[in-house]
Amino acid sequence: MKIAFIGDNSIQFLMNKFSSICPDCLMYEGLYNSIDSEILSVTGNFYKFEPDVVVIHESYFTYQDNYYSLKDDWNKFHFSSQKSQRIIDLFLFLKSNLPNVKLIYPLIHEYDDSIYGTYSLKFKKSLLYHIRKHNNILIEFALCNDDFFLIHPINYKDATLNNSNNLYFNADLHFTLDYINFLSSRIYQIVNSLNAQMIKCVVLDLDNTLWGGIVGEDGPMGIKISGQGEGKFYRKFQLWLRQLKDRGIILVICSKNDEHIAKEPFEINGEMILKLDDFALFIANWENKADNIRLIKETLNIGFDSILFIDDNPAEREIVAQKLPMVVVPNLPDDFTDSLDYLIRMNYFEVRTISDNDKNRTEQYRSEYERIKLKSKYTSIDDFLKSLKMTAICSQFTEVDAERISQLTLRSNQFNLRTIRYSKSDILNILTLKTFITCSVKLSDNFGDHGLVAIAIIKLNDDGGAFLDTLLMSCRVLKRGVEDYLLNKIVIELKNKSINTLTGEYLPTSKNGLVNNFFIDHGFNFSSKKNTYILQIDKFKTINNYINESTN
Amino acid sequence: MKAQIEDFRKILSEVLEREIHSINITDTPKDIDGWDSLNHIYIIIKLENIYNVKFSTSQIQNWSCINDIISDINTLI
């Protein structure tokens, strides 16, 4: 099983936990905060990994940030519709490229920011209103899409940070570890249900399994099937089995009895919930049960692993389990009246696809979606990048930005070619020196202002060349072409200064594998002498990107 | 019961899943193999649970060496 995790928060915690409960799964870690670009880059590592299951994990903190960054009312009003439609679009895009993929999406936590006091749900501009609407739209969508799975945080009460703000502000931990444990076990259950053979048939014993007592001794009217005590359990058990049968699970009797004695209770005891025609097969003889189950398998033409065998007698269970190891044989509790709880808890009857019954009910939803045309609006990563309407300003370092620039050099590990750290005073020093060219990029898009996200420091050599001392980018804006935009700017700057060559160097660390091909991908030539990469400025071709100059 | 460097060594060994034989009060995360940003968080959560304390955002931000962490624990308990 191959599972890809992508999210807008630190998903390593979720992956760590998940790998401890499902060590056999292969996992892919999406780039930080790159849900859209991971799914839309069909040539990227995500698609090379070929995931069977994709988990998209969005945090309500990010949801809140995005909402707060909106300025005009129209965008605020449509926020949840657009946000939820985006997930649906991504799902459809994913399906069009990986037809068998399943998507797991934990719903956003309901969270009230108290802006509207107690009346949040009476205001269409409240955050809580939008979170609820977002979740509801996705719930409706999931009803008619078998491969779209939701996890409801409602089942987990202590889901919010719960006083862990110290770790959110310092380390971008959006959830408590308890909640992350809950989420990973839910994901595991879903993944397991995808792998498991579904139970199609329940094979049942009669005496002390479907009723209390032994029909051959107590008689068809003497067995316990109603009233208080054991009889009450057997009544409840039969009612539950009838629900299973109505859902489409096949019931079969396999009992060591004479057939006419075994059938008597069904024929003359009016308290019996199950009737003879509730069973697809009725086998009562003195053969061993393993042989009888072989016969059942042949007759119904199903696999052994889709048969569940229920018998109160541990010896019978043992024989079947030994002779037919594929058959599912629950190890029922000693007190058989605990068995129903046990079977419910074990959750043997996973519904992977929607059954015919459910399908009719969901047909109306489906046609509704067809009307609004169920089609992904994205066709490529380029469409997505265009839709972001990104604008940027590129400028030299300024004193005001020195603190932020220093922070970026200290904290950026992934998109960082040489990982040179600079203090604030180093930066203040560099910007006074004539031997350095500096560039900083501030980026905005239709989700708001990202601030200063990328920088370059270029050292001018005496020989008319230049050395790329630092080029780095915040992981918040990976895969959007910011580096292409920045390199274009650098080249223009170098041309203005009549510099012919730019030399680059890649210093590998455990975290910057992302950029190991940066130079080759951007037209630099490798020079084995000094292990550097050289760009001839006059041969550089401007790199296409979707970032426009900011007009502000 | 004041927190001691020996207690810290044990907790660190548990989180990093290997026996760390000796640490110094002046050690920083950089000095100890495997003490990365992710494990840093697991360490904080473990300390908060064991000592039943809650570090403030600024306390966490201002730590530079093991001594800072231990002395913050001791002011909180």
By Cβ distance, the residue of A16, A166, A177 closest to B60 is A166
By Cβ distance, the residue of B38, B41, B54 closest to A163 is B54
- Quick check: is A377 in a domain? no
Identify the sign of the CA torsion B11, B17, B18, B23.
negative
> pLDDT band at A5, cuts 50/70/90?
very high
Specify the CATH number for the domain of residue A243: 3.40.50.1000
Say if residue A454's pLDDT is above 50.
yes
The gap between the terminal CA atoms of chain A, to the nearest Å, is: 49
**Residue A531: its pLDDT value, please?**
87
How many angstroms separate the CA of residue B57 from the nearest CA in chain A?
4
Residues of chain B in contact with residue A163, where contact means CB-CB under 8 angstroms, are 54
What is the rounded average pLDDT of the residues A512-518?
Answer: 91
Q: Are A365 and A140 in contact (CB under 8 A)?
A: yes
How many angstroms separate the CA of residue A253 from the nearest CA in chain B?
52
Say if residue A360's pLDDT is above 50.
no
For residues A87 and A224, state if they share a domain. Answer: no
What pairs with residue A535 in β-bridges?
A: A502
How many angstroms separate the CA of residue B5 from the nearest CA in chain A?
23
CB proximity list for A410: less than 8 A, separation 6 or greater: A421, A422
Cα A223 to Cα A208: distance, rounded to the nearest angstrom:
9
DSSP at B30: G
Cα B39 to Cα B37: distance, rounded to the nearest angstrom:
6
What pairs with residue A201 in β-bridges?
A: A250, A307
How many angstroms separate the CA of residue B56 from the nearest CA in chain A?
6
A109-123, A370-384, A530-544 — which is least confidently predicted?
A370-384
Dihedral class, residue A325 (left if φ above 0, else alpha if ψ from -120 to 50, else beta): alpha
B63 touches chain A (CB under 8 A): no
What is the rounded average pLDDT of the residues A7-36?
Answer: 91
Say if residue A11's pLDDT is above 60.
yes
Tokens standing for A371?
Answer: 């009307």
**Residue A160: its pLDDT value, please?**
56
> pLDDT band at A371, cuts 50/70/90?
very low
DSSP at A98: S
- Quick check: is A249 in a domain? yes
Among A293, A318, A346, the domain boundary falls at: A346
**Residue A402: its pLDDT value, please?**
93
* Edge-to-edge order in the sheet of strand A250-256: A279-285, A250-256, A201-204, A307-310
Cα A474 to Cα A6: distance, rounded to the nearest angstrom:
17
Residues of chain B in contact with residue A407, where contact means CB-CB under 8 angstroms, are none
Map tokens 């990107």 to a residue: A545
Identify the sign of the CA torsion A400, A403, A404, A405.
positive
What is the rounded average pLDDT of the residues A22-48?
Answer: 91
Among A147, A172, A195, the domain boundary falls at: A195
Cα A136 to Cα A300: distance, rounded to the nearest angstrom:
41
Q: Which residue segment(s) compose the domain that A263 sits in?
A: 201-346
Map tokens 């810290």 to a residue: B8
Say if residue A374's pLDDT is above 60.
no
Q: Which of the pair, A370 or A381, is modelled with greater confidence?
A: A381
* Edge-to-edge order in the sheet of strand A148-151: A26-29, A2-7, A53-57, A102-106, A148-151
pTM for the full model? 0.65
Q: What is the pLDDT of residues A419-437, one digit of tens each?
A: 999 999 999 999 999 999 9
Instruction: Give which of A516, A519, A485 is closest to A502, Cα–Cα.
Output: A519
Cα A425 to Cα A240: distance, rounded to the nearest angstrom:
73
For residues A134 and A25, state if they share a domain. Answer: yes
Say if residue A197's pLDDT is above 70.
no
Alpha helices in A144-229 (DSSP H): 165-171, 177-195, 215-218
> pLDDT band at A354, cuts 50/70/90?
very low
**Residue A94: its pLDDT value, please?**
92
**Residue A165: its pLDDT value, please?**
79
> pLDDT band at A376, cuts 50/70/90?
low
* A-proximal residues of B, 43-62, CB under 8 Å: 44-45, 54-57, 59-61
Burial class of residue B18 in the structure, from the number of CB atoms within 10 Å of its CB (0-12 exposed, 13-18 middle, 19+ buried): exposed
CA distances from A343 to A1, A179, A207 (A): 27, 26, 19
**Closest residue in chain A to residue B34, using alpha carbons only:** A510
Q: Which of the pair, A28 or A175, is modelled with greater confidence?
A: A28
B30 touches chain A (CB under 8 A): no
- Quick check: is A358 in a domain? no
Tokens standing for A158?
Answer: 């202590």
Say if residue A345's pLDDT is above 70.
yes
Cα B37 to Cα A410: distance, rounded to the nearest angstrom:
13
Pairing relation of β-strands A532-536 and A501-504?
Answer: antiparallel
CB proximity list for A291: less than 8 A, separation 6 or greater: none
Q: What is the pLDDT of residues A534-546, one digit of tens each?
A: 999 999 999 999 9
**Closest residue in chain B to residue A174, using alpha carbons only:** B41
**Residue A458: its pLDDT value, please?**
96
**Residue A162: its pLDDT value, please?**
54
Cβ–Cβ gap A170/B60 under 8 Å: yes
Burial class of residue A144 in the structure, from the number of CB atoms within 10 Å of its CB (0-12 exposed, 13-18 middle, 19+ buried): buried
Residues in chain A whose Cβ is within 8 Å of chain B: 12-13, 16, 163, 165-167, 169-171, 173, 177
Percent of chain A with pLDDT over 70: 92
- Quick check: is A16 in a domain? yes
Specify the CATH number for the domain of residue A6: 3.40.50.1110
Domain count, chain A: 3
Alpha helices in A473-541 (DSSP H): 482-496, 518-521
> pLDDT band at A378, cuts 50/70/90?
low
Q: Are A488 and A544 in contact (CB under 8 A)?
A: no
H or E segment and range at residue A438 = strand A436-445
What value, to the nearest 5°, has the Cα angle with vertex A530 and ends A529 and A533? 100
Contacts of range A267-272, beta carbons closer than 8 Å, 24 or more positions apart: A267/A220, A268/A220, A268/A221, A269/A220, A269/A221, A269/A223, A269/A225, A271/A225, A271/A226, A271/A235, A272/A211, A272/A225, A272/A238
For residues A170 and A256, state if they share a domain. Answer: no
By Cβ distance, the residue of B38, B41, B57 closest to A169 is B57
Q: Nearest 10 degrees: CA dihedral of A529, A533, A537, A540?
A: 130
Instruction: Give which of A176, A154, A151, A148 is closest to A61, Cα–Cα.
Output: A176
Say if residue A3's pLDDT is above 60.
yes
For residues A264 and A183, state if they share a domain. Answer: no
Top-confidence range, A72-76, A369-373, B21-25: B21-25
CB proximity list for A483: less than 8 A, separation 6 or greater: A415, A454, A471, A473, A518, A522
**Residue A326: its pLDDT value, please?**
87
Cα A544 to Cα B8: distance, rounded to the nearest angstrom:
53
For residues A27 and A170, state if they share a domain. Answer: yes
Specify the CATH number for the domain of residue A461: 3.40.630.30
Q: What is the pLDDT of residues A130-162, one digit of tens each?
A: 999 999 999 999 988 888 999 987 655 555 555
In whole numbers, what is the pLDDT of chain A averaged over residues?
88
Residues of chain A in contact with residue B44, where contact means CB-CB under 8 angstroms, are 166-167
CB proximity list for A287: less than 8 A, separation 6 or greater: none
**Closest residue in chain A to residue B48, using alpha carbons only:** A164
**Residue A154: its pLDDT value, please?**
61
**Closest residue in chain B to residue A173, using alpha carbons only:** B41
By Cβ distance, the residue of A163, A166, A171 closest to B37 is A171
**Closest residue in chain B to residue A177, using alpha carbons only:** B45
Say if residue A372's pLDDT is above 70.
no
For residues A187 and A89, state if they share a domain. Answer: yes
Pairing relation of β-strands A2-7 and A448-460?
Answer: unpaired
**Quick one: CATH architecture of B5-76?**
Orthogonal Bundle (1.10)
CA distances from A91 to A94, A102, A432, A479 (A): 5, 9, 50, 19
**Closest residue in chain B to residue A16, using alpha carbons only:** B38
By Cβ distance, the residue of B37, B38, B56 closest to A166 is B56
Cα A229 to Cα A223: distance, rounded to the nearest angstrom:
13
For residues A246 and A145, state if they share a domain. Answer: no
Say if residue B26's pLDDT is above 80.
yes
Residues of chain A in contact with residue B37, where contact means CB-CB under 8 angstroms, are 171
Tokens standing for A84?
Answer: 């939820």
